[in-house]
Amino acid sequence: MILTVNIGNTHITLGGYQQDTLQFCGRLHADPAATADEYAIQIINLLTLHHTAPVEIEGAILGSVVPSLTGRVVAALRLLSNVRVMTVGPGLKSGLKLRLDNPAQLGAELLCGVVAAMEDAPPPMAVILADTAISIMAVNDKRELVGGVILPGPQLSADSLVRNTAQLPQVDLIGAAPASVLGKNTSACLQAGVILGTACQLDGLAARFCAELGPKTRFYATGNLPASIRRACKTPILYRETLITDGLYKIWQRNRKG
């Protein structure tokens, strides 16, 4: 089994692949105070939950946007199984040409998301990663990652409004599904503004990406983008929950003989 590990600011996501098939996917809390030993125990518990023993792990690949945790998680993996642990970064083949001012600034999760999307369909395409912020990265028809945009995520926008105003309440963005911009109360107005407003932002940006990349540009999404926003978008967006995990595995496949 090959273990993929994606270290984010809030969670660490692990996936187990056997014969090119994802067997399980689970998440741990990203604790900045946890030691390598503590992470090793948590990973063992997660593997046990999915009926997998550490000795079954034949290799691992890790992507991280939290440098302070990278070393500890790598050490934890090596405590479990004496196998090679690849780390996404310079030196690993991705199949992409990075046409960026500073390729080292590209987050591992964005690179992995793009790699997985390109396995699904040929470019041009744009990959949307939604978390605290929404990042969108574009690939042209030459398989070159040519840039993108970053904008505030919907929850961040809502939290900022509530925090910086006197009378706006916290609202649910997950279960809400505003059908109209004509909200009849404060909560409904805020839900419609954030959900439909984010959808309009994505539609507007999608039109600009198509103008740059071509009208046949495909759009993929992963991360915490509420279904209510995806449904409100006029742009067809293919949501794949395991896009980053799949991308990690694809990069491992490209580099396993190295």
How many CB atoms within 10 Å of residue 11?
Answer: 14
Tell whether residue 12 is among the known ligand binding residues: yes
Distances (CA, A) of 69 to 5, 21, 75, 91, 129: 12, 27, 10, 20, 21
Q: What are phi and psi of 247, to 5 degrees?
A: -65, -40
Q: What are phi and psi of 169, to 5 degrees?
A: -90, 160
- Beta strands 218-223 and 238-239 are parallel
Tell whether residue 13 is among the known ligand binding residues: yes
The 3-state DSSP class for residue 233 equals: coil
Side-chain-facing half-sphere of 22: CA atoms under 13 Å = 18
Tell whether residue 21 is among the known ligand binding residues: no
Tell whether residue 245 is among the known ligand binding residues: no
Report residue 136 CA to chain centroid gap: 11
Q: What tokens were used for 143?
A: 């398989």
Tell whether residue 185 is among the known ligand binding residues: no
Tell whether residue 217 is among the known ligand binding residues: no
Report residue 236 CA to chain centroid gap: 19
The 3-state DSSP class for residue 104 equals: helix
- Beta strands 125-130 and 85-87 are unpaired
Tell whether residue 186 is among the known ligand binding residues: yes
Q: Which residues are annotated as a binding site?
A: 6-13, 132, 186
Q: Which residues are annotated as a binding site for substrate?
A: 186
Q: Which residues are annotated as a binding site for ATP?
A: 6-13, 132
